[in-house]
Structure 1
Amino acid sequence: MTIEFPLERDHVELHHLLKLTGVCNSGGAGKAMVASGAVTVDGVVELRKTCKIHDGQVVQAGDVVIRVAAVP
């Protein structure tokens, strides 16, 4: 499944992105998912829960791919 996420600011923190896209139910669950090593950013495992995700980046959690694009 691929989700297109419209980024309305400069960045979004990784655990918030997971919550906002419905990949997990809460920010806490997002933090746990990141800490477990189950999330990649641009193909690299990311362990920082508050990693800043910017326009053009791709996040993957399991079979869910999130493409982040700035709102014009």
Structure 2
Amino acid sequence: MTYDVPIRDDSIRLGQFLKLANLIENGSDAKHVTADGLVTVNGEVETRRGRQLVKGDVVTLGSESARVG
């Protein structure tokens, strides 16, 4: 199941979004899960935690998915 997570600006960094969407416990976890190839953006593995996400992008970690809203 994918849920929408609203953001204030036009874009957000992947690491920030993982925390905002409660897909990780804290910001330092973003480095580990992205480096280990555990995060996908729109179905493709993403290893850059600084990647800019825009509205409509879907981020998945394990069985959880969140859409940038």
Q: TM over 0.5: same fold?
A: yes
- Name structure 1 gaps, 5 residues minimum: none
Counterpart residue identity of residue 51, structure 1 = R
Question: Over aligned residues, Cα RMSD in angstroms?
Answer: 1.0
Write out per-residue CA displacement over residues 20-59 of structure 1, whole angstroms, 9 at most, x where no aligned residue: 1111111110121111100000111001011011011111
Q: Report the Cα distance in structure 2 between the residues aligned to 1:50 and 1:60, rounded to whole angstroms.
A: 16
Identity within the alignment, %: 36
Q: Does 1:45 align with 2:54?
A: no
The structural deviation recorded for 1:2 is 2.5
Which TM-score applies when normalising by structure 2? 0.91
Q: Report the Cα distance in structure 2 between the residues aligned to 1:24 and 1:56, rounded to whole angstroms.
A: 20
- Name structure 2 gaps, 5 residues minimum: none
The structural deviation recorded for 1:64 is 0.5
Residue pairs, 1:1-72, within 5 angstroms: 1-69=1-69
Runs of 4+ in structure 1 off by over 4 angstroms are none
Which TM-score applies when normalising by structure 1? 0.87
